[in-house]
Structure formats: C-alpha cells, structure tokens
C-alpha cells in the first residue's frame, strides 16, 4: 500500500535570504550604528583639534583665527591640505597630525565594535563602516567650508574636497579592515582563509602605528633635555612659545616617531624635492639648504646627542610589532601559523612603510605669480631607503622574537616548509592538469595505484573459475 503524498502548503513559498537582498543590508540596515560611529569620529577629531589649537594660540590671534587653525588640524588629520590663495603667493601644505589621526581611528574602531556587537552579518557591518566614513567626511567638509581666515591679503583654509574624500576613504577603509578581522562575521571560506592569513600582519602593523606617537615623544624629550643645538634656538622663548611647541610636538609626535624609527634603522631624514628652490637661492646668494642626512649627521651637525635614543626605539617598535603578530597568529589552529604570521608581517612592510612615510612627511607646493616660479618639496623620511632598511631589520627582529617566544623552532619551521612544499606541489599539479587519484586499499596492507600496470603495479587478476561439467539438476 502506497502512502498518500501530502499536498503542498497553500500560499507562496517563504522567501529565502539570497544574493538579491545584500544591497538592502549594505545600504539600509544599521543606520543608527553608523550615526553613533560617525559622531564619535567627527566629535573626537574636532575636540582634539580644538584643544591643540587653543594650546598653539599665540598673542594677537583672534578667536576666529584659532577656529581656522582647528579646522586645518581637523581636516589635515585625514590628509586634507591647508590652502593659501588670493595673494601673490598661492599653494598648499600637507601636514597630517598623525597623533590626532591615530587616536581618532582607535576610538572609532572601538565604538564601531561596540555598536555592531549584536551584528551577525559582515555585509551589514560593512555598510555601517561605509556610512560612518561618509557622514564623518560630510561633517569635516562643512567645517572646512565654513572657516577661513585672511592673513596679509591671502586666504587660509582647509581643502573641503580633501576633507570629505580623504576622510571618507580613510575611515571607511580602516573600519572595513576591522570587519575583516572579525572571523565570526565571515561566512565564505575564502573570506575566512583571507582572515587567517592577514590577521597577524595587520595586528603587527597596527601595534607599530600605535607606538609611533610614544616613540616621537621620547625622541623629542631627549632632544629638549640633552640637545646642545636646541638651546641656541629656544633661548628667548617665553611661556606662550613653549606652550605652542609642546602642543605642536603632541600633534605631530606620530610623524616624529616614524622619522626617529627611520633614523634608528640607518635611514635618511631631511628636505627633498627642493632642487628648484636651491637653484634660485644660489643665484641670489651663496646659501645652501641643510638637506638633512642620517643619524650621525643630526648628532654631529646640530649637536643633538639625544637622538641616539633612536638606536633603541627602532628595535623596540619592531620587536613589539613582531610579538603582536605572533600572538595574533596563535589564534589560528594550524601548526605553521606563527611562522607564517611573522613572515607575512615582514613582507607587509614593503607596502606599509612607503604608505606610512607618505602620511608622516610634510609636503609643500607654492606658486609665485609675479615671477612664474613653482616650488614643490617636503620634509621627512626617505621612503625608499626606509622601506628596505626596516625590512631587513624586521627580518632579524622576527627571527629573534620567534625564537624567544618558542614560535620559531625546528619543528615549526619543518611544518611550515612541509606545508609550503605541499602547496607548491598542488599548484604545480593543477598547472599541469594532472590529478593523481587516491590509492585503493588492498587487504594485506598494500595499496593499488590507479595508474597503468607495470613492474611495480597491481598484480594480474586471477582467471575466472569454470563451472563443473556434467548434468545439473
């Protein structure tokens, strides 16, 4: 007897969440969290910029000019240039106060993780990150458009386009990386595999970035306390000037930290790209610009023995970054994860150091309309030299930290080499289009391969047995 088939339920089938719904989750869901994150990021940027602008305020500056200085610091925190125009000289200065930038990004990531703690979808969290960057960029653009000052016939203001676009890209990008670091949000095997490989180098790089303001503050304090050449320039400064110096040192401590780490690795720090200005000055008078040099040049020419502290700061920053990479890599269950994390952290410096030097350096461009002169250049670390010097230094530090933390021993290195060899063998087999089928088990403890029979191939099959002859009943 055949059981009857149950009739289908009445009404349309229930809708399943499919790929067609991800635009709604990306663009609509999570607006309250986006507003909270944007409010924290924009509010902290403006608050820190206002406090530092008040500390930098000099006698004769009005309240409006102080507010314009605040807008320059706030817009510059994410890369917007300060523009000068309307007079005989026009141009811009790009000087990112990295201390403000790093503090704002750290607070934004913390608030973002709290605001999305109940979120279980990476697409929704990514939408929150994009909208938070968009709202923060709009706030800083409005501030840049509203505040400008006239000094000596020229107008000084922050770039509104840069304040919006660079803030949006920078903040949304950092929050998107924070989404990638949450493995419980990731559903795709590809996304989880990517997370397992980039977590260690990203955590190591983030640790180094957070240490830069402390390294810069230590280097600046050593120069002020032990420097012999600094007293020649600061002998006549009063309380107001010193307050401005201290506030400026705090705002740009992250920039100074990267320069100090570069000097400690043997790199060069100084002026660059000012060949046209040097040619012009030599035509007027025999003046040579101090273009800078390595650590010995600063300690000898400017009599700043306090900068020898950079020799200690560089390995300390690298060692803490390597240790953070090892700890992040231990969360991956595979055996070669710490070794792989250290290796990827070292290789990631090839992209991270040029990007960091681009952010930390000061860039200037100016046009003199009456003479038709264009000058462009900057101040900071040499990106190419710093990249390869820090890369080699980090490789040595990674080996030392790996042995000290027991992450790098013979067993782990052998496991990493075996995994790499297996991966290369699989890649080579896939490239040649050859797939080896698994061996078949044969009773008696032997295996039969699936290849053609040969001297060492499977034994020949036994002949079939014939039925017995004679009449059968």
Closest CA to 179 of 253, 126, 248, 104: 126
- Strand-pairing partners, residue 209, are none
pLDDT of residue 336: 62
Question: Which tokens in the block code for residue 234?
Answer: 């600061």
pLDDT of residue 301: 77
Radius of gyration of the chain (CA): 31
Question: Which tokens in the block code for residue 112?
Answer: 């973002």
pLDDT of residue 225: 82
CA 389, distance to chain mean position in Å, is: 19
Residue 179's CB is within 10 A of a number of other CB atoms, namely 23
On whether the CB atoms of residues 253 and 213 are closer than 8 A, the answer is yes
pLDDT < 70: residue spans in the chain: 1-28, 87, 228-236, 275-290, 332-336, 369-372, 409-417, 419-421, 423-473
pLDDT of residue 472: 44
**Three-state secondary structure along the chain?**
CCCCCCCCCCCCCCCCCCHHHHHHHHHCCCHHHHHHHHHHHHHHHHHHHHHHHHHHCCCCCCHHHHHHHHHHHHHHCCCCCEEEECCCEEEEEECCCHHHHHHHHHHHHHHHHHHCCCCCCHHHHHHHHHHHHHHHHHHHHHHHHHCEEEECCEEEEECHHHHHHHHHHHHHHHHHHHHHCCHHHCCCHHHHHHHHHHHHHHHHHHHHHHHHHHHHHHHHHHHHHHCCCHHHHHCCCCHHHHHHHHHHHHHCHHHHHHHHHHHHCCCCEEEECCHHHHHHHHHHCCCCCCCEECHHHHHHHCCCHHHHHHHHHHHHHHHHHHHHHHHHHCCCCCCCHHHHHHHHHHHHHHHHHHHHHHHHCEEEEEEECCCCEEEEEEEEECHHHHHHHHHHHHHHHHHHHHHHCCCCCHHHHHHHHHHHHHHHHHHHHHHHCCCCCCCEEECCCEEECCCCCCCCCCCCCCCCCCCCCCCCC
The whole-model pTM stands at: 0.79
């Amino acid at each position: 007897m055949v059981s009857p088939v149950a009739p289908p339920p009445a009404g349309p089938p229930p809708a399943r969440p499919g790929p067609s719904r991800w635009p709604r989750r990306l663009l609509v869901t999570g607006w309250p969290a986006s507003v909270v994150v944007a409010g924290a990021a924009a509010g902290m940027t403006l608050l820190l910029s206002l406090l530092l602008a008040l500390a930098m305020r000099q006698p004769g500056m009005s309240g409006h000019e102080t507010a314009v200085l605040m807008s320059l610091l706030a817009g510059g925190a994410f890369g917007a240039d300060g523009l000068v125009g309307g007079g005989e000289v026009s141009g811009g200065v790009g000087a990112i106060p990295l201390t403000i930038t790093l503090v704002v990004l750290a607070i934004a990531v913390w608030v973002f993780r709290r605001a999305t703690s109940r979120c279980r979808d990476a697409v929704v969290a990514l939408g929150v990150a994009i909208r938070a960057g968009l709202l923060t960029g709009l706030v800083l653009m409005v501030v840049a458009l509203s505040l400008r000052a006239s000094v000596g016939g020229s107008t000084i203001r922050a770039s509104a386009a840069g304040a919006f676009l660079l803030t949006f890209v920078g903040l949304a990008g950092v929050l998107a990386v924070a989404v990638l670091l949450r493995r419980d949000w990731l559903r795709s095997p590809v996304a989880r595999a990517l997370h397992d490989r980039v977590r260690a180098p990203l955590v190591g790089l983030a640790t180094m970035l957070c240490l830069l303001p402390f390294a810069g503050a230590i280097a600046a304090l050593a120069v002020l306390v032990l420097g012999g050449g600094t007293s020649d320039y600061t002998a006549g400064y009063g309380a107001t000037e010193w307050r401005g110096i201290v506030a400026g040192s705090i705002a740009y401590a992250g920039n100074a930290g990267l320069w100090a780490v570069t000097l400690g690795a043997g790199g060069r720090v100084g002026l660059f790209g000012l060949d046209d200005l040097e040619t012009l000055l030599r035509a007027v008078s025999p003046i040579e610009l101090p273009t800078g040099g390595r650590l010995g040049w600063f300690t000898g020419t400017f009599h700043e023995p306090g900068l020898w502290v950079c020799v200690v700061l560089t390995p300390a920053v690298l060692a803490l970054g390597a240790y953070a990479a090892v700890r992040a890599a231990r969360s991956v269950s595979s055996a070669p994860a710490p070794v792989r994390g250290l290796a990827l952290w070292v290789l990631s410096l090839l992209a991270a150091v040029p990007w960091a030097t681009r952010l930390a350096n000061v860039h200037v461009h100016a046009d003199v309309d009456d003479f038709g002169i264009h000058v462009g250049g900057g101040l900071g670390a040499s990106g190419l030299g710093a990249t390869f010097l820090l890369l080699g230094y980090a490789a040595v530090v990674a080996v030392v930290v790996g042995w000290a933390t027991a992450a790098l021993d013979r067993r782990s290195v052998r496991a990493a080499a075996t995994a790499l060899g297996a991966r290369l063998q699989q890649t080579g087999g896939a490239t040649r289009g050859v797939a080896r089928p698994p061996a078949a088990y044969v009773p008696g403890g032997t295996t039969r391969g699936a290849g053609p029979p040969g001297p060492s191939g499977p034994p020949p099959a036994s002949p079939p047995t014939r039925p017995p002859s004679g009449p059968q009943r």
